[in-house]
Amino acid sequence: MQVAGMKFALVEDQVMFRSLLRRLLVEECRGKVLFEAGSLAELRANVEQLRGVDLLLLDIRLPDGDGVDFVDEMNLKQIGVPVLLCSASVEDYIVHRVSRSFVQGFVHKNEEPNVLLTAIQTVVAGGAFFSPRFIERKRALAANPDTFEKKLSPREQELLRLIGADYTDAEAAAATGISVSTAVTHRRNIMAKLGLHTARELQIYAQKAGLSPNERHLG
C-alpha cells in the first residue's frame, strides 16, 4: 500500500508530538502536510481546507473540545475525508464513542510508530484500522455486562457525561434542555442503575470511565 504523494491534515495540541507526526508523514510516508492546527477553533476556522486532503489525523482531547464531536460536524458539512484518531486515552467512554462514530481508525499514542504507519496506509487505502490497545479494550467492554452503555439510556449517558465534568443539576438541565427536576430524576436513576450511593461516587465513576473531563471547554 503506497501513500507517497498523499496530502494530510494534522490536528494535535502538543507541539513536540505534532512535530514528530509531521516528520513521519513527510519522511516516512513521503506525503505533504497541507494544514495543521493545535485546537478545534483553529481547525473550524480552516475547515474547508480539509476538502483538499486525503487523510485527517485528529487528536481526541484538544484544549477547547473533543475530536470525536468534530467528526460529527464534518458529516453535517459533507466533508468525506477519512479520519484517523490519535489519543493517549482509551477509557470506556472513548471506546464507546469512537465505536459509534464515522472514523476509519484509532491509534493509541503509546503504540509503536510502525502501528501508526500501518494505520495510515490502511485508512488511506480505504480500509479501517484500530490499534491493539483499542481492540483489547473494546473486547473487554463487550464481555462486561455491567458497563454504563448497557445499563444507561442515551439520555442518561449524556447526563453522566456532564456529571463527570462537574456540572450541577441546574447546569446539566440547561445544557440538555430539560427541567432541573428531570435532571435530578435522571441523576437518581443513574446512581441506582450503577449501584452508586453518593454524588462523589458518581462523579468518580464518570471520570474513571473517561466521560469527557474537558466537557466545559466544548464550543
Residue 166: CATH number of its domain: 1.10.10.10
- pLDDT tens digits, one per residue of 138-184: 898 888 887 888 888 888 888 888 887 888 889 999 999 999 999 99
* Boundary (domain end) residue, out of 103, 118, 142: 142
Mapped onto helix, strand or coil, the DSSP state of residue 120 is helix
In angstroms, the CA 13 to CA 98 distance is 20
**Percentage of the chain exceeding pLDDT 90:** 47
Please tell me the predicted confidence (pLDDT) of residue 217: 36
74 shares its domain with 88: yes
The count of C-alpha atoms lying within 13 angstroms of the C-alpha of 104, restricted to the half-sphere facing its C-beta, is: 20
Helix (H) or strand (E) holding 89: none
pTM of this structure: 0.73
Q: Are residues 70 and 112 in the same domain?
A: yes
78 located within any domain:
yes
Range of the domain at 37: 7-142
Residue 91 sits in a domain of what CATH number?
Answer: 3.40.50.2300
Please, what's the largest Cα pairwise distance for the chain? 57
Rounded to the nearest integer, the mean pLDDT of the chain is 87
Instruction: Please report the pLDDT score of residue 3 as a whole number.
Output: 67
Predicted confidence (pLDDT) per residue in 118-137, tens digit: 999 999 989 999 998 899 88
